[in-house]
Structure 1
Amino acid sequence: MSPIELLRRLLHNWPIKLAALLTATILWYQLREVEPVVERSLERPLEVVGVDAERRPVGLPGRVLVRLRGTARILKNLHPNAVVTFVDLSGVEEGPFTVPVQVRTPSGVRVVEVVPAEVSAVLERQGAAVLPVVVFAPENVVSYNPKSVEARGAASLVERARAAIGVDMDGKGKVTLVPVDDDGRPVEGLELDPAAAEVEVVGPLLTSKEVDLVLAPPPEDLRPVSVKVPARVVVVGPPKALEGVSSVIAKVDWRVGEYTTALELSLPEGVSVIGSVLAQLKVEPVKPLE
C-alpha cells in the first residue's frame, strides 16, 4: 500500500474517528476520577546500596514505615515486595553520616510519608574474627561441630563478640548460632560462617538426689534382731527420671545369722546409686508356737 493510499484511509471519515477518540479519552478520565483514592501503610526492610564489601554501616534501623497513596484497586493488589526502601551510601566517607531514606514504588503509587525520613549511622571498615562455639542443652550432654566459626561485620561489632552460642532444646540435629558479647548479650549485625552447628546427643544430663531407703520386709519365718542400714542414699540420673522419686525400696538377702550384705535397690530406668549400700543384719528364725 502506497503512502498516499494509507493517508487517504486514515483521513476517511476523520470527524467520526476523532469524535470516537475524544469520547474514549473523556470516559477514561471520568472513570479514573470516580475510583476512590486511598492510603496504605507498609513496614519494609531497609536495604543498603552504594557501599563496597570492605565497609559496613552500623546503627541503621532494620525496617522503616512507608505510607502510600493510590487508587483502591492498585493498593489492594499491591504486593509488599514491589515497594523497596533503601539508603544510597555512594560517596559517603567512613565515620558518622545522615542520609535520606529513598523509596521505589510501582507506577500509580505515590509516597506520602516515610518514618524515619532520614537515618543516621556510622560507616566502618569490615572486620573478621574466629569465635569459639558453645552449645547448651538443658537436659542432655551433647557433642557438636564445628568448634569455631568466623564472624564478619563492622570492626566495632567484631571486637565486641566473644563466642557463638546455640541452645538445643529438643535434640534436633542442627541449632542456629548467635554471636554474643562478654555479658552474653547478642551482637546484632554480624554474619557467622557457618551459621549453625550440627548437634549429636551423647546422653542425658545427670543430677543427684538424696532419697529415703526402705527395706523390703523379711519372710514370715525370719525375725530381724538387729538392722543397721543407711536411712537415706544418694541416687543419680536424668532430671525427668528423678522427678517424684522420694524413696527407694531395698531388697535384702534375708537368712539366719549375723552378717553384712549388699542391698539391691529398685531404681527407675537410667537411675543409679552412688557407692555400695550395705546392711548389717542379725536374723533369727521365728520359733513356732508351742
Structure 2
Amino acid sequence: MIKLLRKDLGIKILAVCIAILMWGLANNDKIRSPERENPISEQSFSIFLQVQNIERGLALASDLKAVEVRVRGKSNVIMNLREEDVRAFVDLSGLKQGTHLVPVQVRFPTNCELVSLNPKQVEVKLDQVVTQQVPVEVELVGEPKLGFNAHNPVFEPTEVLVTGASSLVGTVSKGIVNVSIDQLTSSVSGLLPVRLVDINGKTVEGLKVEPEIIDVFVPIMQSMPTKNVPVQLKQSGEPDHGYRIVNWVIEPSFIQVTGSVEYLKGLESISTKPISVAGATKDLVKDVDLDIPEGYNSVSSYKARVVIKIEPKVERKTISGIGIKTVNLVDRYNASLDKKDLSLTLEGKSTILEGLSSANIQAWVDLKEVVLGEIVLPVTVELPEGVKIISQDPAEVKVTIKEK
C-alpha cells in the first residue's frame, strides 16, 4: 500500500498543485471587488448657459458665459457621458425689466451626481424688445489679381431690421457684409450673412436680423480706361395743371464707366430710365435704373435715386377795373372819390390767380372818424392767402366829405 502511495509521488503532487491553481482561477471573478472592476470617476464639462421662460416683450441684454460643471459616477457611465447629455440653464419666469441675480440649474443623467458648479448664480439683464432699421454696407476683403479692378458692389436689400433688447439695438450702427475678392479675376456674387457692428466696428451679438443674408454682386473687370460722366434726368409727362418742376437731385450725380477708348470718347452723360411726372402735384422720390448704352465693360452704379421737387406755378396777373368802395361813413355825410377804380398786379399760385377777377376782389377806403373837407386816404385790398401785390394804382385816393 505504501509503495502504491509513493509510486509517481512527484507527479501526484504536481497534479494537486495544478488543481488548486485552476480552482483559484475559476473562482477569481466571484471574489473580485466590484469597486475595483468599475471604480467611481469624475468628469468636467464647459456648458453654454441657456435661457428659459423669458417673459413676452422682454429680451436678454447681457452676455451669458459658459459654466463649469463637474459630475461623478461609475467609470463606464462617465466614459460614455457626452457634453450634450449635460444641460445648464437659468429660469427667468416672472422676472421683469432690469438686472437680476438668478441661480444656475443643471440637468444630467440620473446615474450621475453633481460634484461642483461654477458659477452657481449669474447676473442677467432684461430689457424691452424693440425693432430698428439699420443700413447695410459691403466691405471688400483683399485685392483682385494684378491687372483687374473691383467696382462698386451691387446689393439688395440696402437696409435690415434689427430686433432685440433696446439697450443692445441702440448700439448698432450698421450691418456689414464681408466679400472676399482676393486674387479674383472675375465678378463674384452670392447670398452672404449680415454682421451687426457698433460705431467703433465691434461686433454686436444677441440680436435678430431680418433678413439674415443679402444678395451681393461685385463686378471685377480687367483694367481698362475709365471716365466719369454726369447722370441726367429723363422724364416723361408733365406735372398737373398749375404745377411745375422746380429742380431735381440725382444720387449718384456722376458714375464711372469703363470701356474702350472709342466708346468713352463719344460718351458725355448717362440718362436715367424715363421717370413719369404726369399729373404730379407733390415731390417725387424714385429709385430708377440707369439707361447705359451698349459697349461698356463696367459701371460704378447701375441705379440712381432721383428726388424731383414739384411746386405750384407762381405767376403774375394784372387786374383792372376793381371798384373802390367807402366804409364806416357817418350817415349825415356824403363822400366822393377822385378815383373810383384801381388796377392791381398780383403774384401767386397760378391755380389761385386764375380764379381772381375785378368782380371778386374787394377794395375800400375806411372813412371812420373822418370830418368834413378833403383828405387823402390809403386804399385797402383784400386778397386770398398766398397772393401778394406787386403794384397797385392808385395806392391812395383823395376823398371829399360833405354834409347831405
Q: What TM-score does the superposition give when structure 1 sets the normalisation length?
A: 0.57
Structure 2 counterpart of 1:211: none
Work out which of the residue numbers 114, 134, 158 in structure 1 matches 2:169: 158
1:73 match: secondary structure: helix
Work out which of the residue numbers 45, 65, 68 in structure 1 matches 2:71: 68
Q: Give the number of the structure whose alpha-carbon radius of gyration is greater.
A: 2
Work out which of the residue numbers 168, 186, 207 in structure 2 matches 1:190: 207
Q: Answer whether contact 2:103 2:121 (CA < 8 A) is retained.
A: yes
Q: Answer whether contact 2:55 2:95 (CA < 8 A) is retained.
A: no
Structure 1 stretches of 4+ moved >4 Å: 204-208
Q: Report the Cα offset of residue 132 of structure 1.
A: 0.9
Q: Answer whether contact 2:55 2:93 (CA < 8 A) is retained.
A: no
Going from structure 1 to structure 2, the CA distance change for 1:197 and 1:39 (only over 3 Å counts) comes to: same
Q: Answer whether contact 2:55 2:94 (CA < 8 A) is retained.
A: no
Q: Aligned partners of 1:48, 1:153: CA distance in 2, in Å?
A: 15
Q: Deviations over 1:88-121 (max 9, x none)?
A: 0112221110011110011111121222221012
Q: Answer whether contact 1:60 1:119 (CA < 8 A) is retained.
A: no
Going from structure 1 to structure 2, the CA distance change for 1:32 and 1:93 (only over 3 Å counts) comes to: farther
Alignment gaps of 5+ in structure 1: 1-26, 209-236, 238-269, 271-290
Q: Aligned partners of 1:121, 1:107: CA distance in 2, in Å?
A: 29
* 2:73 alignment partner AA: G
Structure 2 counterpart of 1:133: 136
Q: Report the Cα offset of residue 60 of structure 1.
A: 3.6
1:75 match: secondary structure: helix
Q: Answer whether contact 1:46 1:85 (CA < 8 A) is retained.
A: yes
Q: Deviations over 1:227-262 (max 9, x none)?
A: xxxxxxxxxx9xxxxxxxxxxxxxxxxxxxxxxxxx
Going from structure 1 to structure 2, the CA distance change for 1:65 and 1:74 (only over 3 Å counts) comes to: same
1:111-122 mapped onto 2 (5 Å cutoff):
111-122=114-125
Going from structure 1 to structure 2, the CA distance change for 1:84 and 1:193 (only over 3 Å counts) comes to: same
Going from structure 1 to structure 2, the CA distance change for 1:206 and 1:94 (only over 3 Å counts) comes to: farther
Alignment gaps of 5+ in structure 2: 1-29, 144-149, 182-187, 226-257, 259-296, 298-404
Q: Aligned partners of 1:72, 1:114: CA distance in 2, in Å?
A: 20
1:74 match: secondary structure: helix
Going from structure 1 to structure 2, the CA distance change for 1:166 and 1:128 (only over 3 Å counts) comes to: same
* 1:157 alignment partner AA: L
Query: Does structure 1 residue 147 correspond to structure 2 residue 148?
Result: no
1:1-290 mapped onto 2 (5 Å cutoff):
31=34, 34-138=37-141, 139=143, 140-141=150-151, 142-170=153-181, 171=188, 173-204=190-221
Going from structure 1 to structure 2, the CA distance change for 1:125 and 1:112 (only over 3 Å counts) comes to: same
* 1:146 alignment partner AA: P
Going from structure 1 to structure 2, the CA distance change for 1:207 and 1:197 (only over 3 Å counts) comes to: farther
Q: Report the Cα offset of residue 181 of structure 1.
A: 1.2
Q: Answer whether contact 1:60 1:120 (CA < 8 A) is retained.
A: no
Q: Aligned partners of 2:69, 2:177: CA distance in 1, in Å?
A: 35
Q: Answer whether contact 2:55 2:96 (CA < 8 A) is retained.
A: no
* Higher relative contact order, structure no. (Cα contacts within 8 Å, ≥ 6 residues apart): 1
Q: Aligned partners of 2:200, 2:180: CA distance in 1, in Å?
A: 22
Please tell me the root mean square deviation across aligned C-alpha atoms, in Å.
2.7
**How many aligned residue pairs are there?**
183
Going from structure 1 to structure 2, the CA distance change for 1:110 and 1:194 (only over 3 Å counts) comes to: same
Q: Aligned partners of 1:130, 1:205: CA distance in 2, in Å?
A: 37
Q: What TM-score does the superposition give when structure 2 sets the normalisation length?
A: 0.42
Q: Aligned partners of 1:37, 1:207: CA distance in 2, in Å?
A: 74
Q: Report the Cα offset of residue 34 of structure 1.
A: 4.7
Q: Answer whether contact 2:46 2:66 (CA < 8 A) is retained.
A: yes
2:219 match: secondary structure: strand
Q: What is the percentage of aligned positions where both structures have the same residue? A: 30
Q: Aligned partners of 1:205, 1:120: CA distance in 2, in Å?
A: 56
Q: Report the Cα offset of residue 178 of structure 1.
A: 1.0
Q: Aligned partners of 2:132, 2:66: CA distance in 1, in Å?
A: 27
Q: Report the Cα offset of residue 74 of structure 1.
A: 0.8
1:173 match: secondary structure: strand
